[in-house]
Each structure stands twice: as C-alpha cells, then as structure tokens.
Amino acid sequence: MYAIVDIETTGGKFNEEGITEIAIYKFDGHEVVDQFISLVNPERDIQPFVVQLTGINSNMLKNAPKFYEIAKRIIEITEDCILVAHNAQFDYRILGTEFRRLGYNYKRKTLCTVELAKDLIPGQASYSLGKLVRSLGIPVTDRHRASGDALATVKLFKLLLAKDTHKNIIQQSIKLHQKKTLDSKLLNILDKLPTTTGVYYIHNDDGDIIYIGKSNNIKKRINQHFLGTNSKSKKIRKLVSDVTYESTGSELVALLKENEEIKQNKPLLNRALRRSIFTQALYSFIDENNYINLKIDVADGRKKNITTFTNRQSAKSFLTHMVEEYNLCQKLTGLYKTKTNCFSYDLKECRGACIQKETSESYNKRVNELISKHNYTNKNMVIVDRGRAIDERSVVLIENGVFKGLGFVNLNYQINTISVLESIITPMENNRDAQHIIKNYVRKNKRLKIIDLNKNKANE
C-alpha cells in the first residue's frame, strides 16, 4: 500500500517552513482507496513568491485547521504505507518537522518518483513534476496545489509501476508487509484478487517473485494454483506469502508482459528458458515459374516468416481459409500435392496458377495482399486494444517491423504524437516469442484497431 503525498508550504528558512496545504491519496497499486485533502493554518507568514506560485494566501488559511488538528488523520491514512512523493525527501522532511514540534517521532518508508523516473524513463529534458507529466501526456489540473500535484503523482507512479518490469518496487513493498498466518493466508490472498485480465506475481516471505503467470481471470487462476495437485501447485502453496497483480485489460498486453518479465526476473518456479509455444510457421518462396508459393514448416527463428502457429493443424486451418478468402491455388500453398492442376481448379475455384493459366503477376498480387495483412515486417504501426478502464486504451508500438514496447493511453494525441508515445510505453525486447505472440494475436482478433504511423506522418 502506498500513500502518495504532496505538500505546499510557506517557504522560508530551512526547517522553519510551515504547511499550508496537504493532499494524501492512499493507493493500492491499482486505484485510490482513501484520500485526505486539507488547507492548513501554518501560524506564520507565507513568502510572497509562494503566494504568487500557489495562489494560497493568509486570508484563505485563517479558519483552516492547524497541523495538530489533522495530525491523527495523517498518521492513520499513512499507517503501513510507503510514502510516495515527487521529491520525497522534501515532503517527508516537512512532515517530520511538523510532527517533531508535537513531540511525535513520525517514521515511514519513502519512494521518490523523481528518482524512479530517472531510472525508468531516462533521457527526459526535465524531471520537474509539471514538465515531466506534460512530456508524458499525463493530464494535470490545479498545478502547484496539493491535490492537483498529488493526483498527477498518482498517475505518474502508476505509469512507473507498469514500466518496472523487474518489479523492484512491488517486491520491496511485499518485504515490508509480510503476511503472518499460514492457515488463513490463502483465503486472504484470494479475497483481494480481481477477476480481470492481467499478469500475476507470486511472492515468498522475502518479497521475491517465485512465479509469474497470465490469466483472463486472475482470481480463478490463483485459486487453481492453490487447489492443484501437481508438484508446482504444491510448491506454490508451501512458499507463497502474497500475490500481487497488474491488470492489463488486453490479453495481448498480458501475454507480452508475462513473456518479458519471466525472462527478466527468472522466477524460481517458472522454467529457466521459456518454451516456445509456436512450433509452426508460414513461409513464402518463389518457384521456377515466378509464382509465390506458401509453405507451412517448423518454426525457425533464423528465417523470416509471415506468421506463426501453436500447432500444424492450426496452421493448415488458417491456410485453408486464406485459400478461400484470396482465391489462391491449393497446389501453390502446399495443401494439395499434384504434378498437374489442383482440385480447386476442377471446381473452378482456382484460376489456374497451378498450370500457369493465370499469370504470375495476377496471382502474386493476391498472395502479397495476404502477406502484407499478416506480417508487420518494415511496418510502423500501433496496435490499440482494451485498457484497464473504460476511458483507457492499451497500445503496442511497432517501428520498422520491430516490437518496441507497450503502454496505456487516455487521449488520442498520446497515440498520434510519436515522441509522447515513445515516452509512455514500457520498452521491451523484440525477441522471437514476442513476435510470435503479436502475430498470433493480430491474426485471431479481426476487430483490433491498428494505426498505420506511416499514413499519420504523411498527413502531418
């Protein structure tokens, strides 16, 4: 659990500042579950430049509560939380100073979104809150007021959690809050899990991730782990201390995150080398008569494929459908072995490419249409899918045929502005598994929205 804080002060000499406004959002890693926002009477003058910056003046604070009147609420809402702030050292120092004046020793673990952003979003022109969120396309209102800045920090922190593929932030949090009882532990874990699509992380007592998985129903899948009788389920029940998760909305995003994070974190109970689930691939070659032939073969990472499949039957079913859709030749797609014409030609469904009756130019045009639709080699595009909320969309970025990463957006300009999009996405490795996952998902989900970035550039 996190308490995301922003404080406005009077300004003045070091350790003599007073609080004029405070906002705290209690955040469980997915949504805000509690909040506290209040003006504060600092019982001292406010520096003129601060009044100009924040708009908060002494008249506004005459009837505001003094710090001692809200101190208990601050303690309660931040109890068992990690304190998160943009420049956390400042906010934590101010809180500590105010509590010391009351004779109370206020201690919390802290996380600084400035430091996290420098690590997870390198190369930004500025890491000040206003400039950083603007460059990332994060909407912010009431800038330099505690509530507005704290809400912007919530959105920034949510983005940083998504970019933290090594899950260092979450693992530190789990270590801080170890579960104590074993018998009720599994039920307690299940109670807090959602039934949504996403990636889940099973932790041991030290907070280390021992297993990563993906599911369209996280709660149901974890329950299966807890009830399973195989050796992996037994090990999970023995070692589990907590389960965290990341909702994705999109199954494609969940698959890609699972693939990336297993490789990066190498959890104890995941296989050391992720097995390839795509065993077959569709390839093309040009025969001696200059016709493009299609061929299903064992997937080979050294060869450029059109698309990939989990098994040979799935590949044959796809190719049979494509023969019908694009009016292709059974012989030239390897579905009908013959030295003469294919069976479809007898039924007048093939135009005769198998016996050179149809020209190679005419036939190849349709084959190239199929290849172009199902292959993203050299393409610049964004795959848009479901997000984690109604007003959000997930995006997967492909540049020059290379998978660059994924992220979440709320506004259209975040997709159409490449510099903003590149900052928002979590960079990921363009490995063979990722390529297979994307091609397979795009092929199976006909209603996906795909934005051609080349067309967008041409229209700018």
Q: How far apart are CA 359 and CA 193, in angstroms?
A: 59
User: H-type helices in 25-87, by residue range?
Assistant: 48-54, 58-61, 67-78
Sheet with 426-427, edge to edge strand ranges: 426-427, 402-409, 393-399, 381-386, 449-452
- Give mean pLDDT in consecutive 10-residue pieces for the chain, a chain of 460 residues: 90 82 90 91 86 85 89 91 90 89 88 89 87 83 84 90 82 59 68 92 91 93 86 87 92 93 87 63 92 90 80 89 91 90 87 91 92 78 90 89 88 76 85 82 84 62
Extract the tokens encoding 309. 């499949």
Q: What is the pLDDT of residue 268?
A: 87
Other C-beta atoms lying within 10 Å of the C-beta of residue 420: 19
Q: What is the pLDDT of residue 247?
A: 93
pTM above 0.75, yes or no: no
Closest CA to 214 of 252, 254, 248: 254
CA atoms within 13 A on the CB side of 289: 14
Contact 93, 108 (CB under 8 A): no
Extract the tokens encoding 436. 């297979």
Q: What is the pLDDT of residue 455?
A: 62
Contact 110, 31 (CB under 8 A): no
The helix (H) or strand (E) run that includes residue 191 is helix 185-191
Q: How far apart are CA 148 and CA 140, in angstroms?
A: 6
Extract the tokens encoding 31. 């949504």
Please calculate the CA angle 256-257-259 and round it to the nearest 5 degrees: 65
Q: How far apart are CA 148 and CA 14, in angstroms?
A: 25
> If one looks up domain 171-265 in CATH, what number appears?
3.40.1440.10
**What residue spans define the domains of the chain?**
2-163, 171-265, 280-374, 381-459
Strands 381-386 and 209-215: unpaired
Closest CA to 27 of 83, 75, 87, 110: 83
**Residue 377 in 3-state DSSP?**
coil
* Sequence-separated (6 or more) residues with CB below 8 Å from residue 107: none
N-to-C CA span, the chain: 44
Report the b/e string of 75-95 with b at 16+ CB within 10 A.
Answer: eebbeebbbbbbbbeebbebb
* Residue whose token pair is 């019982």: 43
Distance set, CA 391 to CA 217, 232, 250, 415 (Å): 21, 38, 14, 14
Strands 381-386 and 307-309: unpaired
Instruction: Provide the CATH topology of domain 2-163.
Output: Nucleotidyltransferase; domain 5 (3.30.420)
Sheet with 209-215, edge to edge strand ranges: 209-215, 198-203, 242-247
Distance set, CA 291 to CA 304, 305, 320, 453 (Å): 18, 17, 18, 31
The helix (H) or strand (E) run that includes residue 32 is strand 32-39
* Sequence-separated (6 or more) residues with CB below 8 Å from residue 330: 323, 336, 342, 343, 344, 350, 354
Q: How far is CA 319 from the centre of its chain?
A: 33
